[in-house]
Chains A and B, each alone.
Chain A
Amino acid sequence: AQSVAQPEDQVNVAEGNPLTVKCTYSVSGNPYLFWYVQYPNRGLQFLLKYITGDNLVKGSYGFEAEFNKSQTSFHLKKPSALVSDSALYFCAVRDRADKLIFGTGTRLQVFP
């Protein structure tokens, strides 16, 4: 069965430091992978996606994600965190039926 795992409920990082939010997936065939962000009292916003091509994908707000096929991972990264990056982050994979399967979310807290 297709699935997505986000092993960390919360990630804490100091402003200016690099951040990583982890995601691993299990899917048959080639994965279509997505990252979304949810700010308080807002809907989900698309950050970036991997369909094919370069393993390093760049997205909105300075975020990027690295697709690693051998480790079945798609970790979200940013070189220098901002306090305004504090939010709930969801990794998702599109399965063969075109359904988006979401992880349980990781709350990112960036401290000044």
Chain B
Amino acid sequence: EAQVTQNPRYLITVTGKKLTVTCSQNMNHEYMSWYRQDPGLGLRQIYYSMNVEVTDKGDVPEGYKVSRKEKRNFPLILESPSPNQTSLYFCASSSVTVAGGLDNEQFFGPGTRLTVL
């Protein structure tokens, strides 16, 4: 089954304790992205990656890191989490066109609800 998986689904942590949220897709998609969803703000992009070893900042990258060492995986790293990073996080992936752009819809993971105390 084609899917995007995220782990963990729920996480409660404390300020300053490094954490990683994993994301994996089995569709051989070049493009992967991380979003955070907050009430009244919709989804905002944190980081994205057009392919292996190619990552770029989205709208709200502060406090986050990503890596893309393999095509299928795109982990989100919070080196020193703070309470304002309490949110619902989504990973997404998509194929790209021959020309290198995104024409297609993105496939989303089930979400990771993070609480930073």
A interface, CB within 8 angstroms of B: 32, 34, 36, 41-46, 49, 51, 90, 94, 98-100, 102-105
Q: Does B110 contact A (CB under 8 A)?
A: yes
CA A49 to CA B111, docked complex, whole Å: 22
The answer to whether B42 and A43 touch across the interface, beta carbons within 8 angstroms, is no
Q: Does B70 contact A (CB under 8 A)?
A: no
**Total cross-chain contacts (CB, 8 A):** 45
B interface, CB within 8 angstroms of A: 4, 31, 33, 35, 40-45, 48, 58, 90, 92, 101-103, 105-111
Closest residue to A105 on the B side, CB-wise? B42
Shortest CB distance A90–B (Å): 6
Closest residue to B56 on the A side, CB-wise? A97
The answer to whether A49 and B105 touch across the interface, beta carbons within 8 angstroms, is yes
CA A37 to CA B106, docked complex, whole Å: 12
Shortest CB distance A9–B (Å): 8
